[in-house]
Structure 1
Amino acid sequence: MQSLCTSGLQRWIAVVLLICWALVPKGWAAQKIDYGRPAALQVLIVARHDRRLAPCRTRFAVSKTALARNGNRPYNPRDATHFIRSLPMSRAIDINATDGSIDAHIFTPDDANGALPAVVLFTDIGGLRPCYHDKAQTIADDGYAVLMPNIYYRDAVGSVVPEGKSFRDEDVRPTLFEYAGRLTPEAQTRDFAALVAAIDAEPEFDGSRIGVVGYCMTGGFALRMAAAHPERVAAAAGFHSARLAVEGDENSPLGVVDRIRGRVYLGHADGDELMPPEQIGRLDAAMAAAGVDFTTELYKGAGHGYTAFDAPVYNEAADARHYKRLSTLFEETLGG
């Protein structure tokens, strides 16, 4: 009986996808995307072939709830209530920067009407992938225009993790570390200027006050962007951030926090070797001494990477808490 139900569900899903495909006009293209180890299923993404014709994309995706429930187990059709959902539109753009062209995405709510408060989202070390497209859209749905750049544009366009692989795989991580090694504070500063210029140029954004959020290594990016553009960045947040206050590290954002004028929120992972208690204390002391308006929280029981639903350490409760904190921060500082 269960196999018959499973077979029936799969046929129903196939019919839905075929209908969607039949409705796609000429000039559109479909591609498969790999949702990583937690999902055994590949899903069709229908997207405009010409990136300049936007915003006009419909995406069907496995929900993060289904992925989180499955963990590393095979797909369970009983999670079908969370299986397919339609995501609102995003627009791909190219941003002129000193070091090249930054491929990026703009996310807005599906009912967007006019310019919205601007948010910049920096991915973790794994780069652009479905997990972060979902994050960007979730934030946008609160009433923001979210700009998500490819932090590795100097080396690759789009996703840097090969199809069927994970950013945590041993044969993938050396490439990511190599690319990340080129993201010096000086390179980041040049990129920040390009991102602010893009916000000023694109119609989706009201860039009078900007919010920035980073994850893992890019928690430091958020702090540096707030310091580099204190007159523009009203809020900066970092979640399961890494190496923010290494003693003696001249590249640490510790040395620039005195320039920050916006509000700061940091949600640290519990027992995180990349951000141990002594670093948290050191950073808090520096921000307090500089008069920064900041909040620090420790997410007890949540490990490094707790917001990434494509990672084995994903923590659904901590992820929900992170969105709640981020929503409050941006509402109070950006007015979304």
Structure 2
Amino acid sequence: MPTIKDTITTPDGTCAVTLATPEGHGPWPGVVMYPDAGGARATFDDMAAKLAGYGFAVLVPDVYYRDPGWKPFEMATVFGDAGERNRLFAMMRKVTPDVMAADAAAFFDYLAARPEVTDAKFGTTGYCMGGRTSLVVAGRVPDRVAAAMSFHGGGLASDDPGSPHLLADKIQAAVYVGGAENDSSFTAEQAETLDKALTAAGVEHIIETYAAAHGFAVPDNAPYDEAADEQHWEAMESFFGSRLG
């Protein structure tokens, strides 16, 4: 799929992005794909190209652009290395709900101005930390999001005041959540809390538990699961296809 590298000016600086589009002239519906805690990297360029093949213009942002020149993480070992783990968590803490919303507005403006993209509401999807971001953005920038997806996202219905489930009454998008089995960052109880919040708010939603571990859909994650990954691609093609059009 055609892929370009570009930058977007945000309130906090300049964010590097990858934009993948289908073959042809378009325009196509736009989707922002939020990376996991490891940040934007080659794996997500490949994933964006695959989603573009389903008929979408897919933007992957460097959510850590506030740390210019940051060194990529080795996802197979990062959580076992105290120094790298601390560096990762320090960068993650900077990506607050306020930051997510401000960045998303800039990303959507960029997509809307691209000739390859339909100027309408957008889709969001994300993994791990990015799965939480996807739902936060749906609640914080609700007039711009038509469909929001989250895969092995953590903190979706927690005690944190920034938890996405507390934004349920603001969400206008259809929501899909694909959780992992035995995931302490999104337990069965938290799934029930999220379900109740979305139901009470009248939000169209699907919450599924995949028979795989946290990280199942990202190929360079140690718990990657090929069967669960394929299931997640089928879900994205169907969910975005029916709601972004």
Length-normalised TM-score, structure 2: 0.94
- The CA distance in 1 between the partners of 2:161 and 2:80, in whole Å, is 30
Q: Does 1:98 align with 2:11?
A: yes
Q: Which residue of 1 aligns with 2:216?
A: 306
- The CA distance in 2 between the partners of 1:92 and 1:117, in whole Å, is 19
| Unaligned 5+ runs, structure 1 | 1-87
- The CA distance in 2 between the partners of 1:184 and 1:162, in whole Å, is 20
Select the residue among 235, 242, 245 that pairs with 1:325: 235
Q: Which residue of 2 aligns with 1:316?
A: 226
Q: Which residue of 2 aligns with 1:12?
A: none
Q: Does 1:282 align with 2:185?
A: no
- Judging changes above 3 Å, is the alpha-carbon distance between structure 1 residues 96 and 321 closer, same or farther for their aligned structure 2 residues? same
2:217 aligned counterpart, secondary structure: coil
1:261 aligned counterpart, secondary structure: coil
2:31 aligned counterpart, secondary structure: strand
Select the residue among 97, 107, 113 that pairs with 1:201: 113
The alpha carbon displacement at 1:152 in A equals 0.3
The alpha carbon displacement at 1:167 in A equals 4.2
- The CA distance in 1 between the partners of 2:153 and 2:113, in whole Å, is 30
Q: Which residue of 2 aligns with 1:108?
A: 21
Answer whether contact 2:3 2:20 (CA < 8 A) is retained. yes
Please give the root-mean-square deviation of Cα atoms over the aligned residues, in Å. 1.7
Q: How many residues align?
A: 244
- Judging changes above 3 Å, is the alpha-carbon distance between structure 1 residues 118 and 167 closer, same or farther for their aligned structure 2 residues? farther
Q: Deviations over 1:89-110 (max 9, x none)?
A: 211111010011111010012x
1:113 aligned counterpart, secondary structure: coil
| Unaligned 5+ runs, structure 2 | none
The alpha carbon displacement at 1:166 in A equals 5.0
- The CA distance in 1 between the partners of 2:51 and 2:74, in whole Å, is 26
Task: Give structure 1 regions of 4+ aligned residues with deviation exceeding 3 angstroms.
Answer: 162-169
Q: Deviations over 1:223-265 (max 9, x none)?
A: 1211223222110000001011113x11111211211111100
Q: Which residue of 2 aligns with 1:242?
A: 154
- The CA distance in 1 between the partners of 2:161 and 2:140, in whole Å, is 16
Aligned pairs (5 A) from 1:60-75: none
Q: Which residue of 1 aligns with 2:93?
A: 181
Larger radius of gyration: 1
2:121 aligned counterpart, secondary structure: strand
Q: Look up the equivalent residue of 1:245 and give its one-letter code.
A: A
1:268 aligned counterpart, secondary structure: strand
Answer whether contact 1:264 1:293 (CA < 8 A) is retained. yes
Q: Deviations over 1:105-152 (max 9, x none)?
A: 10012x221321100000000011221111111100101100110000
Aligned pairs (5 A) from 1:2-81: none
Length-normalised TM-score, structure 1: 0.70
Q: Does 1:127 align with 2:39?
A: yes
Q: Percent identity?
A: 36
Higher relative contact order (Cα pairs below 8 Å, separated by 6+ residues): 2
